[in-house]
Amino acid sequence: MNPTHLMQRIRLGEDSTLELKQLLVKEGGKTLEPHPDGLSDELAAMGNANGGLMVFGVDDKTRTITGIPTEHLDRVETWLTAICTDRIKPPLEAVTHHLELPDANGQPQAVIVAEIPRSLWVHQSANGYFKRIGHAKREMTPDALARLFQQRSQARIVRFEEQVVPKAGFDDLDALLLRRFIKPDQGEIITQLVRLHLVDNRDGEALPT
């Protein structure tokens, strides 16, 4: 997770793979906003589309970093995990990252980034079946839902070795071993590795498979 790249995306605003969420946390760590049901719809919509990032602690209107009190980070993450497992069926597997990003005054503020994969399953959330289109969620029509079930069923046949390795980055790959697969006259390194199904290039970030 590259904070500089993430800040660039935040400044440009939400898109089909980026959602910004401001958290309202009362004293004691209870999260008041966003509502769990609505958030489950947003999370499932990403999983039912192409995946993406949901950044908690950012005002989606002004795109400013509002942050999360550090003493509440663990409680907020537990709350988020419960939504993914209890309000989404089948449960959505999200990878979370704790980062510090600068606010408008340049002061570091803690945020939580939930990385939502493009799921192999179709997820139902609190208010139905949703899919992210552009920067918003849309409830799926029966025809669209049937097509998605068919597509995801076929996608699960993809070979295990071509699936992204959870929590792994490009830097985790052995550079010496990679040289065995790279040819100087075959274009960019990442392009060659994608062609060989050794990495998956998602949102400009090469992830090992």
Domains along the chain with CATH numbers = 3-155 (3.30.950.30), 162-208 (no CATH)
- Residues 127, 17: Cα–Cα separation, whole Å: 21
Peptide bond into 34 cis (omega under 30): yes
Q: Which of 135, 180, 102 is nearest to 198 (CA)?
A: 180
Task: State residue 35's pLDDT score.
Answer: 93
Q: Say which DSSP state 65 is in.
A: B
Task: State residue 191's pLDDT score.
Answer: 82
- Residues 66, 103: Cα–Cα separation, whole Å: 7
CB 36 within 8 A of CB 125: no
How is residue 51 written in tokens?
């995946």
Amino acid identity for residue 196 in this structure: L
Q: How far apart are the two ends of the chain, measured CA to CA in Å? A: 17
The Cβ of residue 41 has, within 10 Å, a number of other Cβ atoms equal to 22
Backbone angles phi, psi at 72, to 5 degrees: -105, 0
Task: State residue 207's pLDDT score.
Answer: 76
CB 166 within 8 A of CB 177: no
Task: State residue 136's pLDDT score.
Answer: 95
Task: State residue 169's pLDDT score.
Answer: 75
Give the pairing type, strands 52-56 and 130-133.
Answer: unpaired
- Residues 161, 164: Cα–Cα separation, whole Å: 8
- Compute mean pLDDT per 10 residues along the chain, 209 residues long, and list them: 93 96 80 90 97 96 95 93 97 96 96 95 97 96 95 71 66 78 80 79 70
Give the pairing type, strands 52-56 and 108-116.
Answer: antiparallel
Peptide bond into 184 cis (omega under 30): no
